[in-house]
Amino acid sequence: MARAQLSPMSKMQVGKCRVCGRIRELSREHVPPQAAFNKGLRRLYVGEQVLRNNSLPWKLDELKPTTYQNGIKFPTLCVQCNGDTANWYVKQFAYFITEARNSAIIAAEKKLLSPGASVPLCFREIHPLEVLKEVVTMFASVNHPDFFDRNSRLRDFVLNPLLMGLPAESYRIGAYIAEGKISKYNGVQSIFHLSTGSARTVSELTAPPLGFVLELNPDYSTHFPYWDITFFASSFHPGQAANISINVPVIENNTPFPLDHRSRLDVSLQAMRNSSSPFDSRGFGPPRNL
């Protein structure tokens, strides 16, 4: 009965904590937090798997997903960072998501929740600084273990609950209402615009009712169709509550690409244009209008 004698700790995976950077036993971190509606059966498909599949990206019947029985979680944070960030930020983030969801339900009842629309969200007594710190923590979990080594300001921002501000020349964070049920976990990728030669470096994390975009070294002249929440870092003190009412864009996700919010019709039409055969739907992406 040796297995029964293993302590829970000894079953943990050892690796580099995405937040503090130390080599430690890693606990399994819910992304987003379990309290933010990340519960129940979840299926996760890897992007390459979807791209290799000879079908449109939402037709996943032939693929084998990784199945999670009670929310999606990754072994990404050490026990201390998991516990600290949970204590400091998760309650406020979960409340923020609950407020967003309540507003989105009202909008859906009024038939307002369609892609391209902008929907009023009403947040009462939220704690914006703590919310943003949890968003940055989640971006750590979906990115490479070295991500915070290269972005030490983000590490400091998460590990010090009292630290305010993020440099605008380095980071821009947006939020949107995610239409549908698809979640998306994109680590940092560079997207090149062939016609202009410009590039964007972004990470995207979508978990309905909201999606979040982190842009590195942002060009503020570039279209950014999201609710810019970077000001949460500089305009609110630790523990400060605020009421915020704002119109937030409704955006859909139908492919594994970051910043790709084309409709299924647009994706299908592009697939047909790019494919030699009308029955070959692999040419669906990536988008050309970033």
CA-to-CA dists, residue 81 to 17, 73, 179, angstroms: 8, 15, 31
Place of tokens 């970033």: 290
Per the CB < 8 A criterion, the answer to whether 243 and 123 are in contact is yes
Smaller CB separation from Zn ion, 125 or 146: 146
**What pairs with residue 115 in β-bridges?**
none
The length of the chain in residues reads 290
Instruction: Output the smallest distance, CB 26 to Zn ion, in A.
Output: 9
**66-125 binders of Zn ion (CB under 5 A):** 78, 81
**20-59 binders of Zn ion (CB under 5 A):** 20
Smaller CB separation from Zn ion, 78 or 154: 78
Per-residue x/- track, 4-23, Zn ion (CB under 5 A): -------------x-xx---
Smaller CB separation from Zn ion, 85 or 270: 85
For residue 39 the two structure tokens come to 């519960």
Upper half-sphere CA count for residue 203 (Cβ side, 13 Å): 21
Q: Give the three-state DSSP class for 53.
A: coil
Count residues binding Zn ion (CB under 5 A): 5
Decide if residue 164 touches Zn ion (CB under 5 A).
no
Smaller CB separation from Zn ion, 84 or 204: 84
Instruction: Output the smallest distance, CB 40 to Zn ion, in A.
Output: 28
Smaller CB separation from Zn ion, 50 or 140: 140
Q: In the chain, what's the furthest Cα-to-Cα distance?
A: 64
Q: Which residues bind Zn ion (CB under 5 A)?
A: 17, 19-20, 78, 81
